[in-house]
Structure 1
Amino acid sequence: MTTGEVTVEILSLDDVNERHREMLGDVGVSMTELRDRAHAYELSIDELEVLRKLERLEFLAGR
């Protein structure tokens, strides 16, 4: 049995903020709008994936 490869990425707070801005720019809406649309089940699969990634970044940034 073999184990998978693990990749660890260390991000500064500036890196997190920049990645956050880029992802929101890619979907063209605010975080609030993404969350509101998620609660109404109105997100595409791609938008939902972006929301999940943004939420993970916010968690890691302590927000």
Structure 2
Amino acid sequence: MAMTIKTSPELWGEDARIFTEEAERNGKLPTPKLSESQRKVLSTMLESAKNIIFPPRKN
């Protein structure tokens, strides 16, 4: 789903039209899927992130 850009003060006229058309085209593309190995790497990273203490404890 493309976002509406017509109310944005940065994009007007032709620029807004081009942006909207490109967003609509991109919205129809297939969503990339993660492979099983990519899922495992991501899962490992997420699990290790749970153990991060911020800010670090002072000893």
Higher helix share: 1
TM range (shorter): 0.3 to 0.5
TM-score normalized by the length of structure 2: 0.34
Larger RCO (CA within 8 A; separation ≥ 6): 1
TM-score normalized by the length of structure 1: 0.32
Instruction: Answer with 1 or 2: which has the greater Rg.
Output: 2
